[in-house]
Amino acid sequence: MPAASVRRDGTGHPEPALPCIRYAEAMRPRHAYVHVPFCRHRCGYCDFTLVAGRDDLVERYFAALGRELERVSSAAESGDGSACLALDTLYLGGGTPSHLGPDGLRRLFAILRERLRPASDAEVSLEANPLDVTPDFVAAAQDCGVTRVSLGGQSLDAATLRALDRDHGPDDVRRAVGLLHDAGLVVSLDLMTAAPGQSLTAVERDLAAAVALAPAHISVYCLTWEQGTAFAAARRRGELAAAPEDLERAMFESAIDRLEAAGYEHYEVSNFARPGHRCRHNEAYWDCRPWEAVGPGAARFDGRTRITNHRSTTTWIKRVLAGEDCSGAVDAMSAEDAARERLVVGLRRRDGVERGEFLAASGCNLDSVAGPAVTRWVAAGLATDDGRNVRLTRAGLLVSDTLWADVL
């Protein structure tokens, strides 16, 4: 990368150079995440890094993304003369990447292609709002090399969608899935449970309706009441109520039972896939493989240190375009802390954690990191341990979030 690059605004003044990453061979990421922070509307429960109704920022976002990508370079090591990072998976999340529309998506990929090069068999995922999925958008996604669309459907019930403050209806989800399937794209459908006022019967209807659409992958998330959201404020005022804990559990168990019966493998706490359709990108996260990440609030990981970009879209844009460091939190882990984290994310998967692989990947013995905790979980029926693999049971998965404090 040159020490200074020519301004894209045509002034001819050199811009300050951003630091360039030269990856060691073993740590060179094969996975990248791009955060697209734009939404039409902020859903009442959402605390993600995004701006709603600020399409005026899109041009500066594109400029900043191009600048941030300048630090992604593997040229010296790759030996192929290119400044691109070769990828097995690329994931565009947000926000709502589909909010960019067909032309915006083409522009985004033109910028990404300067530094990120998905392999010919790469998984290229894009998050989409059902309302954005038009024939033109699907054609643009195909032209850009997208292979998989993660559709923020959340429900196929009009009352639940209203309760979740979503801006689409059930027919929008059905139409979007149809268009994506007609184009041969892999569809992952998000569903949400424990929405305000949602009954177990409503969840069961949603699961049946989702199965009828035959997406290759389904993610089921339980509504969480995040601080600072409109939902949390309404709950404090007594206008909204959280589902009782036993109802939340019944909904989760129903999802596991019904989706497994329909041929979906429950391979991670919240994720279900038809054979051969696990999300490869998320598998890389759960394996703690290194990944690159760009955009506001995006977190990158080199196997030991996680660096999260500033969460404010406007601050991230300003800092990147000024050539300043756009990092927010830096989490540099010791070898043992990294091993603990590896164990926790590994146990979210139904395959569990295999002792030999854990030792080889982390350099730490599983029993020295978490032996007493595993013994307690097994005694309580929350995990199984056959001497080789440690796996959470269904009872353990149901309370998994409460177990991690035993290890971390």
Nearest to 90 by CA among 130, 123, 62, 138: 123
CB-side neighbour CA atoms (13 Å) of 93: 16
Site for ligand SF4 in 249-288 (CB under 6 A): none
Site size toward ligand SF4 (CB under 6 A) is 11
Site for ligand SF4 in 142-161 (CB under 6 A): 152
Binder to ligand SF4 among 66, 87, 91, 94 (CB under 6 A)? 94
- DSSP for 211-244 reads HHH--SEEEEEE----TTSHHHHHHHTTSS-PPP
- Pick 50 or 307: Cβ nearer ligand SF4: 50
Binder to ligand SF4 among 21, 36, 50, 326 (CB under 6 A)? 50
The rounded Cα 349 to chain-centroid distance in angstroms is: 15
Q: Does 125 bind ligand SF4 (CB under 6 A)?
A: no
Tokens in use for 63? 């400029």
Provide the 10 A C-beta neighbour count for residue 25: 8
Angstrom CA distances, 169 to 130, 166, 172, 217, 227, stand at 9, 8, 5, 20, 27
Binder to ligand SF4 among 129, 147, 188, 282 (CB under 6 A)? 129
Cα separation, 106 vs 351, whole angstroms? 38
Binder to ligand SF4 among 73, 96, 188, 309 (CB under 6 A)? 96
- Pick 190 or 268: Cβ nearer ligand SF4: 190
Q: Does 192 bind ligand SF4 (CB under 6 A)?
A: no
Binder to ligand SF4 among 95, 102, 118, 153 (CB under 6 A)? 95
- As measured in angstroms, the least distance from the Cβ of 53 to ligand SF4 is 11
Tokens in use for 253? 């168990």
Q: Among the candidate windows 15-23, 44-52, 193-201, 282-290, which touches ligand SF4 by CB under 6 A? A: 44-52
Q: Does 42 bind ligand SF4 (CB under 6 A)?
A: yes
Q: Give the CB-nearest residue to ligand SF4.
A: 46
Q: Does 296 bind ligand SF4 (CB under 6 A)?
A: no
- Pick 44 or 323: Cβ nearer ligand SF4: 44
- As measured in angstroms, the least distance from the Cβ of 274 to ligand SF4 is 24
Kindly provide the b/e burial profile for residues 321-359, where b requires at least 16 CB atoms within 10 angstroms of the residue's own CB.
bebeebebeeeebeeeebbbbbbbbbbbbeebbbeeebb
Binder to ligand SF4 among 20, 46, 222, 359 (CB under 6 A)? 46
Nearest to 88 by CA among 30, 145, 25: 30
List of residues 6+ apart from 255 with CB closer than 8 A: 191, 193, 203, 207, 220, 272
Q: Does 39 bind ligand SF4 (CB under 6 A)?
A: yes
Tell whether omega for the bond before 95 is within 30 degrees of 0, i.e. cis. yes
Contact footprint for ligand SF4 (CB under 6 A) = 39, 42-43, 46, 48, 50, 94-96, 129, 152
